[in-house]
Amino acid sequence: MMRFKIQRFCKHRKPINSVLIDYEIPQSDATLLEALTFVKIKTDQTLTFSSGCKSEVCGSCAVLVNGKEKLACGYKLQDGDVVEPLRYTEIIKDLVVDHSLAQKSLKRVISWQSKVSKKDDISIPEAKRVELQSDCILCASCFSSCPVLEVDSEFLGPFALTRNYRYVNDVRCEDEKEKIDAVQKKGIWDCTLCGECTLACPQGIDPKNDILMLRGRSMKYGYSDPNFAIDSDFGFNPSF
Amino acid sequence: MYDVLIIGAGGAALSAALSSKKEGVKVAVLCESYPTRAQTSMAQGGINASLGNAGKDSVSSHIEDTLKSSGEIGSKEMISKMCKDAPNRVKWLESIGMPYSRTDEGKIAQRKLGGASSDRACYAQDFTGLKILHTLYDQCLKEDIEFLNEKFLLEFVVQDNLIKGAICLDIRTTEVEFIKSKSVIVASGGFSALYYNFTTNTNQSTGDGIAAALRVGAKLSNMEFVQFHPTGLKKSGILISESARGAGGYLVNEKGERFTDELGPRDRVSRAIFSELESGGVYLDIRHLGEEFIDEHMPQERKLAITYEGIDPVYELIPISPVAHYSMGGIYVDENLMSLVKGLFAAGECSESGVHGANRLGGNSLLEILSFGRLAGENSAKFSKSYDYKDTDTKQQDSVKKFIQEIYEYENRENFYESREFLGELFYKKAGIIKEKKALKEALLEVEKMQENYTSMGLGDRSRVYNTNLIEFIKFKNTLTLGKALLVSAIKREESRGAHFRSDFPSIDENFNHRSFYDEV
């Protein structure tokens, strides 16, 4: 038997719309998704969550467990776990959050192959350059783990920047400059390089490193770290 | 008002969206969650095209293999159309950024899947479907395709056998909405979730588009043919890829003895396992391959077995059973991918266009969604251009609204989730890998009983905000509709062919050398 808690939310729930509720399931080796499904089927049909493939590729079921992002289908429930919805986006109901922001962020960073490519000889090392980044399942775990998004909802966020780099770094890319231009504002320089996104990614992707690589590419186009630029201005300011 | 409304957001839907948009018409994609959540993401093996990058191959071999696998009831014309188009589709994906695995010469890598005479499946590690889906999605963003997310299809609106649009439920608000469109493409997937707990599919694969099409006059075909994959994990049904056996894995019974040729066709291996399961467990044994080999070549399999079965295949046997994987049947469509309802098209697993017949060849499902998804998009766009749309009366919308209202008033005396589980096991045992008349008829009685009791099942959640209980309850109704279609079709086909095996008629019968139809509402 396992006991765990779920943060429930419904805007119509009275007297308060948010409440932490205890549940228990008879199994001891269930995934979190199996546990949530058990609760919905046997205990409380109002429990609301998203799920899909059950095998960690569709990105539907990311939630917080004890404050850390996990795919419910790939996480083994532990006694005493506390389950909450992802952060930094609107909670729709219980563990379901609004994921519509992803589409807007991805459009802002031009994350696609812009021109039809005629290149049909791509070597194994060239293909490897985008292999890991294209494993992304858009589960938004990295988004939820990002402290910059806590204070700035305009920040592009890890997965959008990783996907931008995925296309920038593709040998078929013919509009690198436009793509690099797109990540300057509220993008790569706003990241604090804390690495939380890298720890949160269930696919082992390293957005922090992708952001560093994008910074390197940006220098090639004359961009520099605006935070650093202010410092150096101070250093060379004759009136200082 | 749209020119083309696409139901679903998997590979077929996104291909259709891109090709119809190219025709300069107004397109929208209706999706019950978000675009990249579709089941296409789960496809691992590859996409077939006779590129010949890994040895000699030809379009005619691809056609021949597909036709043979179809149990001779596939349409040669449609199979040829798809196989000829295959190299173009694969290269088109490459031109828009698909990150394929490559050969040493820099060509698209290809590997062998069951039933193929050559190494024909192009792949991207074990993430072929995922990467195709995301590549298509990125192009949809580029082309500014309009997505109607978190909306669930309820009914198609049809007047005088002509499409008028679709009625859907906004999941966030539970509002019933009528979306007008001059043409509709159903691309909402198959119905193997019917075998609840005994399937590789998501629980959402309930064939909602197929059931809705049936209700407005489209015929269904080949509903008795469901493909079972030999090696699903025992507890969860999660797929352990064929590559484990390809690399030398054994299938053993409770006594540790091998009992079948592990690399035979899927239907034969599945039947051998199913028979063996009557006298005890069946296991996949890859221990002799060694830890180093397993970690190098099948790390995903090891991870899945540990997470979902609680065993480490380096040291232990993997308990497996064959599970429902793909529904060959669906909405019958003509050579233009149009159903019997004018302006209602279908593509992908929800359709029955004649390319799979009695058994689908591995690597042909990803091909079908790209090739026929694109074709459906073009054809529906053309259809919409010559369509002089006149408004319909509100009768259908009124009755759908009434239906939703009534559901909220049903008594909740029986838990439909328990019925869903019961149904899954019932179908697995009586209408699965091995079928026979008596068992099929017993299953049919159970389905009809559940249809009668539907109004006393009702909801446990009467909220009007994001009510997944409501959605699943409506999906359960569709499951019953299609379950009945499957059983009736399976009872009628008194022979064994491809994935349909009748123990009371174990041989192929020339009299059934054609597709079956179903149109009972």
pLDDT in tens, B317-345: 999 999 999 999 999 999 999 999 999 99
The answer to whether the Cβ–Cβ distance between A58 and B202 falls below 8 Å is: yes
Cα Rg of chain A (Å, integer): 21
Report the residue of chain B nearest A11, measured CA to CA: B465
Beta-strand pair B184-186/B344-346: parallel
The answer to whether the Cβ–Cβ distance between B127 and A57 falls below 8 Å is: yes
Q: Tell me the C-alpha distance between B234 and B382, whole Å.
A: 47
Give the nearest partner residue to B465 out of A12, A60, A123, using CB atoms. Answer: A12
**A14 vs B: CB within 8 A:** no
Provide, as residue numbers in chain B, all residues whose Cβ is less than 8 Å from the Cβ of A40: 417, 468-469
- Between the two ends of chain B, the Cα-to-Cα distance in Å is 29
Per-residue pLDDT band at B31 (split at 50, 70, 90): very high
The answer to whether the Cβ–Cβ distance between B42 and A122 falls below 8 Å is: no
* B256-280 core/surface letters (b: 16 or more CB in 10 A; e: else): eeeebebeebbbebbbbbbebbeee
Provide, as residue numbers in chain B, all residues whose Cβ is less than 8 Å from the Cβ of A139: none
Per-residue pLDDT band at A13 (split at 50, 70, 90): confident
Mean pLDDT, all residues of chain A:
94
Q: Hey, is B117 helix, strand or coil? A: coil
DSSP state of B410: S
Nearest 5°: CA angle at B295, between B292 and B299? 165
Give the nearest partner residue to B102 out of A107, A122, A138, using CB atoms. Answer: A122
What does the pLDDT read at residue B388?
A: 94
Per-residue pLDDT band at A15 (split at 50, 70, 90): confident
Instruction: Clarify whether B266 is annotated catalytic.
Output: yes
Assigned token pair, A95? 């563990």
Residue A227 C-alpha, separation from nearest chain B C-alpha, in angstroms: 32
* B50-62 core/surface letters (b: 16 or more CB in 10 A; e: else): bbbbbeebeeebb
Per-residue pLDDT band at A239 (split at 50, 70, 90): very low
| Closest listed residue to residue B152, CA positions, set B199, B206, B220 | B206
Contacts of residue A29, Cβ cutoff 8 Å, sequence gap at least 6: A76, B310
The answer to whether the Cβ–Cβ distance between A52 and B134 falls below 8 Å is: no
> Which amino acid, residue A61?
C
Mutate to test the interface with B, among A29, A39, A43, A57 (most CBs of B within 10 A): A57
CA distance to B289, B298, B315, per residue, from B245 (Å)? 11, 11, 17
Sign of CA dihedral A55, A58, A61, A66: positive
DSSP state of B504: T
Size of interface A-B (CB pairs under 8 A): 154
In the predicted structure, residue B512 carries a pLDDT above the cut 60: yes
Which CATH number is correct for A101-227, 1.10.1660.10, 1.10.10.10, 2.60.120.620, 1.10.1060.10? Answer: 1.10.1060.10
- H helices of B4-124, where? 11-22, 59-69, 76-95
The answer to whether the Cβ–Cβ distance between B33 and A52 falls below 8 Å is: yes
Per-residue pLDDT band at A230 (split at 50, 70, 90): low
**A130 vs B: CB within 8 A:** yes
Residue A96 C-alpha, separation from nearest chain B C-alpha, in angstroms: 9
For chain A, domain boundaries: 2-97, 101-227
Beta-strand pair B146-148/B27-30: parallel
Q: Tell me the C-alpha distance between A39 and A34, whole Å.
A: 9
Report the residue of chain B nearest A129, measured CA to CA: B99
Residues B154 and A84: beta-carbon distance below 8 Å = no
Give the nearest partner residue to B461 out of A46, A57, A58, using CB atoms. Answer: A46
**A169 vs B: CB within 8 A:** no
Residues A183 and A109: beta-carbon distance below 8 Å = yes
What does the pLDDT read at residue A229?
A: 65
Contacts of residue A57, Cβ cutoff 8 Å, sequence gap at least 6: A137, B41, B42, B127, B130
Residue B395 C-alpha, separation from nearest chain A C-alpha, in angstroms: 32
The answer to whether the Cβ–Cβ distance between B34 and A102 falls below 8 Å is: yes
- What residue ranges in B190-335 does DSSP mark as E strands? 220-221, 226-233, 250-253, 282-285, 318-327, 330-332
Domains plus CATH for chain B? 230-322 (3.90.700.10), 395-518 (1.20.58.100)
What does the pLDDT read at residue B44?
A: 84
Residue A59 C-alpha, separation from nearest chain B C-alpha, in angstroms: 6
Residues B259 and B271: beta-carbon distance below 8 Å = no
Q: Hey, is A96 helix, strand or coil? A: strand
> Which chain B residues in 25-54 lie under 8 Å from chain A, judged by CB atoms?
33-34, 36-39, 41-42
The answer to whether the Cβ–Cβ distance between A135 and B417 falls below 8 Å is: no
> Which amino acid, residue A193?
L
Tell me the pLDDT tens digit for each residue of B238-289: 988 777 787 788 999 999 999 998 877 788 899 999 999 998 999 999 999 9
Marked catalytic residue, from B89, B120, B245, B266: B266
Mutate to test the interface with A, among B21, B44, B91, B95 (most CBs of A within 10 A): B95
Residue A235 C-alpha, separation from nearest chain B C-alpha, in angstroms: 43
Residue A7 C-alpha, separation from nearest chain B C-alpha, in angstroms: 16
What does the pLDDT read at residue B100?
A: 96
**A212 vs B: CB within 8 A:** no
What does the pLDDT read at residue A12?
A: 83
What does the pLDDT read at residue A240?
A: 42
What does the pLDDT read at residue B116?
A: 86
HSE-up (13 A, CA, CB side) for residue B188: 31
Tell me the pLDDT tens digit for each residue of B50-91: 999 999 999 999 999 999 999 999 999 999 999 999 999 999
Residues A134 and B99: beta-carbon distance below 8 Å = yes
| Closest listed residue to residue B330, CA positions, set B240, B205, B153, B435 | B205
Residue A182 C-alpha, separation from nearest chain B C-alpha, in angstroms: 14
Tell me the pLDDT tens digit for each residue of B191-243: 999 999 999 999 999 999 999 999 999 999 999 999 999 999 998 899 887 77
The answer to whether the Cβ–Cβ distance between B469 and A59 falls below 8 Å is: no
For chain A, the maximum distance between any two Cα atoms, rounded to a whole number of angstroms, is 74
What does the pLDDT read at residue A235?
A: 45
CATH of domain A2-97: 3.10.20.30
The answer to whether the Cβ–Cβ distance between A55 and B238 falls below 8 Å is: yes
Give the nearest partner residue to B36 out of A117, A135, A138, using CB atoms. Answer: A138
Provide, as residue numbers in chain B, all residues whose Cβ is less than 8 Å from the Cβ of A113: 95-97, 135, 138-139, 142
Mean pLDDT, rounded, for A121-125 = 96
Mean pLDDT, all residues of chain B:
95
What is the interface pTM, i.e. ipTM, of the complex?
0.95
In the predicted structure, residue A237 carries a pLDDT above the cut 50: no
- H helices of B338-390, where? 364-385
Query: Are both A2-97 and A101-227 of the same fold?
Result: no
